[in-house]
Amino acid sequence: MNKQLKGSIAIVFATIIWGSTFVAQSMGMDHIGPFTFQAARCLLGMVILLPIIAIADKFTNAGDGKNFFTRWWDKKLWIAGLLCGTPLFIAANLQQMGIVDTDAGKSAFLTAMYIVFVPILGLFRGIKPSKWIPVSVVLAVAGLYCLSCVGVTTIAKGDLLLLGCALAFAVQILCVDIFANQVDCLRLNCINCLVCSSLSWIVVAFTETPTWAGMWECSGAIAYAGFLSMGIAYSLQIIGQKDLHPATASLLMSLESVFAVLSGWLVLKERMTVWETLGCVLVFVAVILSQLPDKKTNKKQTPCG
């Protein structure tokens, strides 16, 4: 099995986990509040990343004189973690609140708008988007209309929250893009989880009243979203991207939306109308077009699930 095939398999498994996590998030909301869910999820993500980082240290930077603990004492790493973790906190919790009013499949497609927002926001960093971006935006707007506006007189609150989530994820992705080559990526993600969990617990203290019984009822959903989505899937993404062209990896990651719809159909027995299905197709096409490489630009954009 060649390296590219191995990388592709790793990315596909990561997107399967990310896509199915929308179902876990939807099920978790039956027993606890959105901030409690994210606080617990990110805390578990941090716990699973710590041993992964320790193992990774054994195979990288050999002979540099630094041990597991010494590598954490990097001022730039913590600054990067704070700057990347704050928009992640906003995005993750907007997504969790949006899922309350929107089914898993639709939530995934609205969240996928971050892949369109990223190159647009990249203009403020002087990153020229590809020639496909204008077409992507038109298709995405048409898809969102089919998803959120056809047959209703008002746009659902959950739809707006998920669009805000997509925008916040885009900001987080651009922040990660700035620091990814300057600090340890696994440690950066671990601090992301720490920041997101800490800020979420602060909000929980003022807005929610979680109970041990409620936490226990959705412990499976929290464990799935924490250990698998925040820990394992992100590690698979890093492993896969080592052997894949950035455009190829991004296209594979876009399949997260498809797996979310399939998971909602298989597990939650969700059904989508013809217009919602058309909207999903249009948004998915917009996502794919936004990732097509241009001769003049080949900037890697890496989503974080």
Take residue 288 and report the two structure tokens written for it. 């794919």
Least confident of 50-64, 174-188, 215-229: 50-64
Model confidence at 61: pLDDT above 70: no
| Per-residue confidence (pLDDT) for residue 305, from 0 to 100 | 42
Alpha-carbon distance of 113 to 86, in angstroms, equals: 19
Q: Whole-model pTM? A: 0.76
Q: Give the tens place of pLDDT for each residue, 116-139.
A: 787 788 888 776 766 777 887 788
Task: Please compute the mean of the pLDDT values over residues 11-22 and round it to a whole number.
Answer: 80
Residue 290: phi and psi, rounded to 5, are -65, -20
Q: What angle do CA 103, 23, 109 make, to 5 degrees?
A: 50
Least confident of 60-69, 168-177, 244-253: 244-253
Mean pLDDT of the chain: 78
| Per-residue confidence (pLDDT) for residue 70, from 0 to 100 | 82
Q: What does the DSSP assignment read for the chain?
A: --HHHHHHHHHHHHHHHHHHHHHHHHHHTTTS-HHHHHHHHHHHHHHHHHHHHHHHHHHSSTTSS--TTGGG--HHHHHHHHHHHHHHHHHHHHHHHHHTTS-HHHHHHHHTTHHHHHHHHGGGGT-PPPTTHHHHHHHHHHHHHHHHTTT-SS--HHHHHHHHHHHHHHHHHHHHHHHTTTS-HHHHHHHHHHHHHHHHHHHHHHH----HHHHHHTHHHHHIIIIIIIIIIHHHHHHHHTTS-HHHHHHHHTTHHHHHHHHHHHHS-----HHHHHHHHHHHHHHHHHTS-BTTB--------
Model confidence at 209: pLDDT above 80: yes
Q: What angle do CA 147, 252, 110 make, to 5 degrees?
A: 20
